[in-house]
Chains A and B, each alone.
Chain A
Amino acid sequence: MEPIIHLSPIFTLIGIGVIVAGFLARLNPLLVVTLAALVTGLIAGHSPYEVVSTFGKAFNQNRFVTAVWLLLPVIGLLEREGLQQQARRLIASIRAATTGRLLMAYFVFRQLTAALGLISIAGQAQTVRPLIAPMAEGAAETRLKVVTEPMRRTIRAFSAATDNTAVFFGEDIFLAVASIAVITGVMNAEGIHVQPLQLAVWAMPTAACALVVHFARLVLLDRRLKRMSDEAEAGQ
């Protein structure tokens, strides 16, 4: 089909500009993303029908990303019966537990299982919201005298960050993961033959560094929570 408008390819970057501006202006991200898709496709010279069709086809093909919410009725039911409270009670009964140490243990579990290819056995909806975040908060409640709302938010954000960091820098040690497939695919297309096992080996130094860096930050988190708690107590 004859393009409707002729512009240098560099103008397709306007779509990325729409995203950056939209996120900075704190507009609704769903609206920003949709708008950026339409703008990018139109500027590249495709007809509105073609752009909407491409967007719709990919939206339909990627429904499995949203199907993960099938978990919600079960998680909701368990919360209704006291799952978060029980997670707190469990952690309170472990004497050595602090927020940082609990998240370290979760980091190791998540990185090791990801390295074995078991990525979808845990996650933000599966484990962080119902178990890990309440346990991390529960550890602070048991160990510290005062737990303020800003402290709770910090703990919850770190719980989510721990899950992400552990998975990202664990999964590449597993041979059959998507990112390894991408790397071998690109290299093969260029005539360079790469064994997945070699890639997995060279992912290990970064995986080890990720563990050290994140552990150091969790040690600092425990200290910061202690300081925030002391300050809140002094201020009362």
Chain B
Amino acid sequence: MITLAAVYLLTGLMFAAFSVLSALDRANARRWRNTLFWGLLSVCFLFGDRLTDAANGALAIGLALLAGLGALGLGKPATTTAQQREAGALKWGHWLFAPALAIPVVTLAGTLLLKEVVISGHPLIDPKQATWISLALGVLVAMAMCLVLFRPPLLAPLQEGRRLIDAIGWAAILPQALAALGAVFALAGVGQVIGDLASQAIPVDSRFAVVCAYTFGMAGFTILTGNGFAAFPVMTAGIGLPLIVHRFGGDPVIMGAIGMLSGFCGTLLTPMAANFNIVPVRLLELPDQYAVIKAQWPTAAVLLIINTLLMYGLVFRF
């Protein structure tokens, strides 16, 4: 059976290659720091399941220290010039879109179909991880198409990948570190503390005040922790169910649906939701770390108000 372990092996080998190529890149003044950073990350992917939890923790802390105390460098792998790319666009035309579109097509087909494939009694892939395995498969198919179509130099895929990963830098593992932070928050009971504080602080005699406390509480909690899924159980148990549902007779379905979407307004506003708000800043090479949040905040603020009014208008009516 193919599991996530195969995807991790592939990813680990890729980061190992980035590490080796960084070491050989004399144009990068900080090449040893990059070598170590991508090397440690590859260890995490290749051997993470065989290491103790504490060793994995030490690895994560090592990565944070490497990135945080002095910056990673920017590798300068060989690539094409702007003129060569214009020429490439003319030469290949719409064929350039074919591998890019193959990734979602294969991901979708794999997610739907591969789950059902059984070979001599064993499923071909782990059904719970079908999306990630199919995505990796899509990448392999797209890579094969690129190699056949463009016949690039042997190292070009890895060098071009390194060009992009160096542009993303430390932000590449920030979402993973935030997920780990969420586990420590759960261990320490941070969510419960925030929920208790919020439920003590609100006036309980006004329907509108209670709805506001719930929607704005969902958004605020999500801004602080970066995760609407962590906010929902705490806010719902602390404010939503005791006040909106039990005291004022609101509908739990409407409250839950719009409450979660109020949390998503918070997700648009916080650097803690790194894969949405910080990673694209690096991917798009924007100098302002908060550029994406600044583009999103008016939408988020208006939608939070709309959500509050929607909930107030609907939750007591059905």
A interface residues, Cβ below 8 angstroms from B: 9-10, 12-13, 15-16, 19-20, 23, 26-38, 40-41, 43-44, 46, 49, 51-86, 89-90, 118, 120-122, 124-126, 128-131, 133, 153-154, 156-161, 163-165, 168-169, 172, 178-179, 182-183, 186-187, 190, 192, 194-195, 198-203, 205-206, 209-210, 213-214, 217
Contacts and interface: CB of A to CB of B under 8 A. Distances in A.
A149 to B, nearest CB: 10
A70 B253 CA distance: 39
Q: Which 6 A-B pairs have the closest CB atoms?
A: A76-B160, A56-B57, A31-B68, A82-B88, A56-B56, A58-B183
A55 B59 CA distance: 10
Contact of A23 (B96, B176, B271, B288): B271
Contacts of B192: 9
Given A54-B187, A63-B45, 9 more contacts: A26-B289, A55-B57, A56-B55, A72-B161, A82-B84, A85-B89, A183-B256, A205-B258, A206-B306
A214 B303 CA distance: 10
B143 interface: yes
A63 B295 contact: no
Contacts, number: 425
A44 B253 contact: no
A82 B87 contact: yes
B293 to A, nearest CB: 9
Contact of B63 (A30, A63, A200): A30
Given A131-B100, A183-B256, A34 B64 contact: yes
B156 A80 contact: yes
Interface stretch (B23-31, B114-122, B206-214, B261-269): B261-269
29 contacts: A29-B171, A29-B174, A29-B278, A30-B174, A31-B64, A32-B68, A41-B188, A53-B53, A55-B60, A56-B52, A58-B179, A65-B275, A66-B173, A70-B10, A73-B161, A78-B99, A80-B80, A81-B150, A85-B86, A128-B283, A157-B281, A157-B295, A160-B281, A168-B268, A179-B232, A186-B233, A199-B257, A201-B257, A205-B314
Interface residues of B: mostly helix, strand, loop or mixed? helix
A69 B306 contact: no
Interface residues of B, number: 145
Interface residues of A: mostly helix, strand, loop or mixed? helix
A124 B56 contact: no
A16 B224 contact: yes
A156 B166 CA distance: 19
Given A15-B190, A66-B175, A56 B60 contact: yes
Contact of A85 (B59, B85, B289): B85
Contacts of B150: 77, 81
A187 B61 CA distance: 37
B44 interface: yes
B237 A66 contact: no
Given A60-B49, A67-B8, A187-B256, A206 B165 contact: no
A75 B21 CA distance: 18
B160 A60 contact: no
A62 B59 CA distance: 14
B157 A55 contact: no
Given A55-B60, A80-B160, A41 B187 contact: yes
B193 interface: yes
Given A80-B79, A82-B87, A160 B284 contact: yes
Contact of A161 (B11, B274, B299): B299
B52 A86 contact: no
Contacts of A199: 253, 256-257
B48 A63 contact: yes
B189 A9 contact: yes
A38 B302 CA distance: 36
B48 A71 contact: no
A120 B107 contact: yes
Contacts of B104: 118, 120-122, 126
Interface string B158-198: 11110111001011111111111111110111101110010
